[in-house]
Structure 1
Amino acid sequence: MRSNVSHFKCDIAGGIARIALDRPERKNPLTFESYAELRDWFRDLHYADDVHAVVILPNGGNFSSGGDVHDIIGPLTRMSMKELLAFTRMTGDLVKAMLGCGKPIIAAVDGVCAGAGAIMAMASDLRIATPEAKVAFLFNRVGLAGCDMGACAILP
């Protein structure tokens, strides 16, 4: 399994992949590029014999603040319906790839875990949180559907 990624940290040793979003100065928000790279990485994971489990780690005291307000939320307000649909499919495909990767995923939650970050934690098989963890689903506060990234489908 490849660990040479551009938009998040990835270390693979002893059959365990340790990944973390890598923008601690902004509380690790996702960008269009990090969504796509994570989706592709989890899709490839299904075929990796050298990885037996994944741990999603916090970085700099935070798990993820969700979609980057400047790099995602702002541009979404200017997109056409076709572009919005493509973005929505990509975010849902990340969750599908996580659920279908065939490996157990553990979310180690610390600090902020909001929006898309909270959905990534929810799509994990096990969530372990520190007392400092703060989880929030904020999609409707920025004008997105409350079931963004398939949250309603995961809950049952």
Structure 2
Amino acid sequence: MTDHITTELAGGVLTVALNRPEKKNAITQAMYAALSEATERARADDAVRVLLFRAEGDSFSAGNDIGDFIAIGSQTEQPFDMSVFRFLKALADLDKPAVAAVRGRAVGIGLTLLLHCDMVVVAEDALLSAPFVNLALAPEAASSLLLPQALGHQRAFEIFALGEPIDGRTALAWGLANRAVPAAEVEAAAAALAAKLAARAPNSLRKTKRLMRDAAALWSRMQVEGEAFGSQMKSPEAMEAFMAFTQKRPPDFSKAG
């Protein structure tokens, strides 16, 4: 367990908070393990009717902690052994409503996590991005399936291929969010939606969500993405991208091919 993930159950809502604000809530493998436990608990515990993701500080999440990810990934033969895949499986299997409250940056998994949430509240000035190609990696969390379904191919490809952020107003217009509100109102708006869902018939909600999502198909896509992600992690392109990231310079892919 890690102090960088906190949980609180009240009124049928299990609130899970990313609590590493000094690092913009960049997620380590230890944090993924704690997120897995919380998401699995949400599914199994009858006292939990809704799962609410939020974050401390001024950013939802900067994505993977690059140093931690490289260190653990380089020691792991199979990417599926990493704690992140336990969390992804838990998201795929979750059949209770999930809500997200997003302020500031939502990068990588910070964005793709939202695709598994049923209601999303974003700050109008939030910045959402999925810079996998910028790091010479590949999409994850079944986002290669879910993002085109939500946005259409062209918009989804732009988000993946260019890695440029979209703001909260655009996220709402494009269908990634239910509400876009001033940053100071995000937490209250998300909590209000979670409370409304918690008051609804729980079994009806679960069956509705199961009918709307194919958990097996999501997990299957996650595994295919994991293979692509794992092979890219060991590629010269990724080594150049990671080196450039640590040296705070643009990557040079001119010799890649």
Taking structure 1 as the reference length, the TM-score comes to: 0.83
CA contact (8 A) 2:12 2:50 kept: yes
Task: Give the whole-Å Cα distance in 2 for the aligned partners of 1:154 and 1:95.
Answer: 13
* Unmatched runs of 5 consecutive residues or more in structure 1: none
Query: Which residue matches 1:86?
Result: 81
CA contact (8 A) 1:76 1:84 kept: no
Query: Which residue matches 2:54?
Result: 57
Larger RCO (CA within 8 A; separation ≥ 6) = 1
Task: Give the whole-Å Cα distance in 2 for the aligned partners of 1:107 and 1:34.
Answer: 17
- Matching of residue 11 in structure 1 with residue 8 in structure 2: yes
- Matching of residue 107 in structure 1 with residue 100 in structure 2: yes
- Matching of residue 75 in structure 1 with residue 68 in structure 2: no
Change (3 A) 1:123 1:35: same
Query: Which residue matches 1:120?
Result: 113
* Unmatched runs of 5 consecutive residues or more in structure 2: 150-257
Change (3 A) 1:61 1:19: same
Task: Give the whole-Å Cα distance in 2 for the aligned partners of 1:106 and 1:14.
Answer: 15
CA contact (8 A) 1:91 1:149 kept: no
- Matching of residue 33 in structure 1 with residue 30 in structure 2: yes
Return the letter of the residue paired with 1:138.
P
- Residue among 141, 150, 154 paired with 2:146: 154
Secondary structure of the 2:16 match is strand
Secondary structure of the 1:148 match is coil
Task: Give the whole-Å Cα distance in 2 for the aligned partners of 1:94 and 1:128.
Answer: 22
Once the two structures are TM-superposed, the CA of residue 21 in structure 1 deviates from its matched residue by 0.7
Can you list the C-alpha shifts for 1:103-146, whole angstroms capped at 9, x where unaligned?
1111111101001111112211111101121000012222321x
CA contact (8 A) 1:95 1:123 kept: no
Return the letter of the residue paired with 1:75.
A
More helix by percentage: 2
Return the letter of the residue paired with 1:137.
A
Change (3 A) 1:70 1:14: same
